[in-house]
Structure 1
């Protein structure tokens, strides 16, 4: 299945590009995955990113192909806390969620090599993107 179109705000795009480039030496596979998503994204002015699109700091409810529903918040690596449902952008699911909108689906591969599909059910903007 072709990957869905995604939109990323300029400030997220800039910060995430820096983050990924900083990881190229130590974690090339993680960096490449994020850079590929950033490259295929349509970059918009922050104020023009629709509210139903996942950005850094968004609380996202998604459903798996198996029908499980989960709510997580997409965060930078230093803020990740699985107990609170705060998932790092550097995880396969975090990278997959970036830029998706409500009702979009994406296939992704977890660190253990398993294929998954998720569908975005709801997006809440809990924090303003960094300026």
Structure 2
């Protein structure tokens, strides 16, 4: 992934504008790590719903960047959006190498140890977090 020398405005123009906008995903895929980091949080925001057409391809692109995604994932895991956390863990983080899940242990444990809820999404989130935590807690 070479440095393509996009300026910041050009990078932000690559970010999807709606859930159907896949027009720039091929360009995003070849961005250098420093370039993609500029727009990473905006890209992660498109992982809020697996039914969005942009979700699958963007997830595949971001899986290749697990080494730089941890701070952005932590940001989401500290948010109050249960569904977003669930989808991020299920579709993205579960595909990470263990070495990239280990830095998320504290956030995973917080999810697991939170009070039980009748919310089905939260129960699903806890189950996914528990699997990931167990995977790296040897």
**TM-score, normalization by structure 1:** 0.23
Larger Rg: 2
The structure with the greater share of residues assigned to helix is: 2
The structure with the greater share of residues assigned to strand is: 1
**TM-score, normalization by structure 2:** 0.22
